[in-house]
Chains A and B, each alone.
Chain A
């Protein structure tokens, strides 16, 4: 393994992500800012081989090194223009009770990173599409290579976004023949990011426990080391959703634009995300409307919100796939021909519940995570029936994913239940986790632990004054003006 190449890529992911992040002038703590830099940097750098290919520059190690260096330098311009001394995160030693969960999480991270490094790419969707193209792109120095001369009639995976293909090309050329380690960069960054979100909302003991059940979603954990589109798509979709909810609460336009960018990148990775993003838009539209924002301004916001994702869709399909796949792409036959028949929609919505979640295979896919969420949501409904804004937004996000995937299954029959929907449902997991952290019941439990641990942090009980007997008050004496110097 080429450690220098890996170090180079880690630095360029971070710097390019950091530069893009600076453009938005977001107010973030140091740790989430570092995590987001990597989360942004991975897809950002993935564009480099596409640009080289469009410029007809051979995809060799040297050209990729130079291309990534130039790209990172361009992304760093905002950092140089408004240079500030970087704020280093303060290291706070975890408390004794945080260690068990942290050690278990560390164990899972090591397992995931090791498997990502040790095992070659495996999934059929990769080997018959992006990984195949990447492997021969490395050998033949072009993404338009001999793969397109063979019999491809059993697969359409080569029509997917070039995101995985290009990252595989970069990592194969600069790091290791199996590539893949970019997925570990996404995984570790996202894990740290979401852990910091939980730590901000609940007691560390509960944050650790929630992280453990998040890690124990078997299917999701598997895709932290099996390269495919869905994990990265989940990461970018969730971060986009999170910044949208931040915008709804702080009303900062930068958060809104940043959210649109993240949703756009999610669309670049999996184009059907565009449908989910359209479903997400009523969340802020209604919110703005209730705040009496002028309709023209609301329409402009909607145009920006959807426009960014549409631009990424066009970049993916009309520029990259159109130029890099020398085969005709016709998606018209993939769309449901009987659009007025809604029975497939209801069947899919029903199948998601009965086949995917509440079935014998449900725990194999998602562990007890979704069931735990459902019980918690019902419990919250009974008591304490208190929802903060973030919890309500998260519930809306859960509904968007559920109904959105029902709609995708109805509109695109090829988006089957056992593959597309099952893996697409990864996006619901961190949104549910965000709800759990804001759940009324868990908030109460968290506060109870906090106050028990540190009674001084508990809100002081109001001292109720004893009622005084009503009596006639004597008229207040006129204000005395004493020692006033006499006017001369």
Chain B
């Protein structure tokens, strides 16, 4: 083997070692490459729904629960809370989404408090016990108006 090739080989390894020891790259490698992408472990968990759950997080699980519970209700339109409202009620892990994302996750119609279609909501996702969310049905328009006012008090940050 050519001695010059061996020297260049060591030069190459030294260059790579220096490059990935630059703080910006080193931090990136550990935070975004090694820790996030554990291929051997992920290869053991190939179930589609599990992968979605892992990627979209806790809120996605709540959305799927809502989808299951409301499967038998026709024409459901859910008024989604603002993040400000959720934090004010000590709901920390769950975050709200836009109506379009809610439809993507669940196939159910939703509106936000700023939506021009807000008056069409039939249910709301509310927090009656601190730290928890639940669905509440609107029996009349007054209840809907009250809920809109409550959500509007806590705009999303």
Contacts and interface: CB of A to CB of B under 8 A. Distances in A.
Q: Do A and B bind each other?
A: yes
B115 interface: yes
Nearest to A111: B37
Contact of A367 (B25, B103, B114): B25
Contact of A132 (B5, B15, B55, B103): B103
Interface stretch (A117-125, A291-299, A402-410): A117-125
B117 interface: yes
Interface in B102-128: 103-104, 109-112, 114-117
Contacts of B142: none
A33 interface: no
A488 interface: no
Contacts of B51: 118-120, 178
B93 interface: no
B10 to A, nearest CB: 8
A155 B11 contact: no
Chain A binding surface, main DSSP class: helix
B30 to A, nearest CB: 12
Contact of A150 (B12, B25, B32, B99): B99
Contacts, number: 123
Chain B binding surface, main DSSP class: helix
A96 B13 CA distance: 11
Contacts of A453: 4-5, 8
A351 B101 CA distance: 31
A101 B8 CA distance: 12
B108 to A, nearest CB: 9
A127 B114 CA distance: 20
Nearest to B111: A151
Interface residues of A, number: 48
A155 B37 contact: no
Contact of A368 (B25, B100, B103, B110): B25
Chain B's interface size range is: 35 or more
B12 A100 contact: yes
Contacts of A197: none
B37 A154 contact: no
A422 B39 CA distance: 29
B8 A209 contact: no
A367 B27 CA distance: 10
A114 B28 CA distance: 18
Contacts of A363: 24
A109 interface: no
Contact of A96 (B5, B56, B111): B5
A416 B98 CA distance: 20
B100 A151 contact: yes
Contact of B19 (A98, A216, A449): A216
B52 interface: yes
Given A114-B37, A453-B8, A100 B16 contact: yes
Contacts of B42: 114, 118
Contacts of A111: 33, 37, 39
Interface string B27-56: 010001100110100100000100110011
A205 B9 CA distance: 9
Interface of B: 1, 4-6, 8-9, 11-13, 15-16, 19-20, 22, 24-25, 28, 32-33, 36-37, 39, 42, 48, 51-52, 55-56, 98-101, 103-104, 109-112, 114-117
Given A127-B100, A129-B100, 8 more contacts: A99-B9, A108-B33, A152-B100, A154-B115, A205-B12, A212-B19, A363-B24, A368-B25
Interface of A: 95-101, 104, 108, 110-111, 114-115, 118-120, 122, 124, 127-129, 131-132, 135, 147, 150-155, 177-178, 205, 208-209, 212-213, 216, 218, 222, 363-364, 367-368, 449, 452-453
